[in-house]
């Protein structure tokens, strides 16, 4: 495929639009779009199959991170209020919940473990970065990051589509269904 408009310009234009997402009163994490946008290209590029894999696994990863925060908020000082004691409790919580995340990856539906970790990291950055429509609220952080991670595959698709690609003379036609390129 040859782009009529360079992909670099289209992707940069779309990236610039995220400033308006983060700059709203909802204070959403625009960088979370970039995380899943990059994830789509790591999977081979925009396709409905790749988008579905991320749309399933990233919220699950974010949910596991949410569980860590909620448990830590309840029992984080059970061993004492010193930093070492709090760190030890947090380490135990992370060990248990992260193990559950990894075992969840054994289920076919959730087998894209890197997708879960992209969601996991996105949640922590959103929550601890004070992003979301209610900064400091773990549930608001979860809703905010899941919404923004959802947009990444959409932006990846748009970055390809808005370049107005045309078929090179020696190339087979691109298979498309519901506006998304299908895997070959």
**Whole domain around residue 69: which residue ranges?**
2-169
As for how many domains the chain has, the answer is 1
32 found inside a domain: yes
- In sequence order, what are the residues at sequence separation of 6 or more whose Cβ sits closer than 8 angstroms to the Cβ of residue 172? none
Q: 110, 56 in Cβ contact below 8 A?
A: yes
Two tokens, residue 164: 């107005």
Q: Is residue 106 part of a domain?
A: yes
Q: How far is CA 76 from the centre of its chain?
A: 27
DSSP secondary structure string for all residues of 114-162: HHHHHHHHHHHHHHHTT-SSSTT-HHHHHHHHHHHHHHHHHHHHHHHHT
The residues that bridge with 180 in the sheet, in sequence order, are: 177
**What's residue 175's pLDDT?**
66
Query: Per the domain annotation, does 99 fall within a domain?
Result: yes
Answer yes or no: is pLDDT of 1 > 70: no
Domain contains 181: no
d(CA 148, CA 168): 34
Q: 10: which 2 tokens?
A: 């289209």
**Per-residue pLDDT, 176:** 62
Q: Identify the pLDDT of residue 171.
A: 62
Residue 62 has pLDDT above 70, yes or no: yes
- Domain assignment present for 182: no
pLDDT in tens, 14-59: 999 998 888 788 899 999 999 999 999 999 999 999 999 999 999 9
Distance, in Å, from the CA atom of 22 to the CA atom of 15, rounded to the nearest integer, reads: 11
Tens-place pLDDT, residues 86-101? 999 999 999 999 999 9
- Lowest mean per-residue pLDDT among 113-122, 131-140, 147-156, 159-168: 159-168
pLDDT digit string (tens) for 118-132?
A: 999 999 999 999 999
The confidence score (pLDDT) of residue 181 equals 62
Instruction: For tokens 């970790």, name the residue.
Output: 117
Average pLDDT for residues 159-167, to the nearest whole number? 88
Mean pLDDT of the chain: 92
pTM of the model: 0.86
Mean pLDDT of the 142-167 span: 94
- β-partners of residue 13 are none
């Amino acid at each position: 495929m040859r782009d009529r408009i360079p992909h670099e310009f289209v992707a940069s234009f779309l990236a610039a639009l995220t400033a308006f997402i983060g700059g709203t009163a909802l204070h959403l994490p625009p960088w979370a779009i970039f995380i899943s946008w990059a994830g789509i290209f790591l999977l081979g590029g925009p396709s409905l199959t790749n988008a579905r894999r991320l749309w399933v696994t990233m919220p699950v990863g974010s949910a596991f991170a949410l569980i860590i925060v909620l448990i830590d908020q309840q029992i984080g000082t059970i061993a004492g209020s010193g930093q070492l004691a709090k760190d030890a409790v947090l380490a135990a919580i992370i060990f248990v919940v992260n193990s559950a995340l990894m075992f969840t990856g054994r289920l076919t539906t959730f087998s894209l473990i890197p997708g879960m970790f992209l969601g996991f990291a996105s949640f922590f950055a959103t929550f601890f970065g004070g992003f979301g429509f209610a900064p400091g609220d773990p549930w608001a952080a979860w809703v905010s990051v899941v919404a923004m991670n959802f947009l990444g595959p959409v932006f990846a698709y748009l970055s390809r589509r808005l370049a107005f690609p045309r078929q090179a003379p020696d190339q087979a036609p691109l298979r498309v269904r519901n506006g998304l390129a299908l895997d070959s």
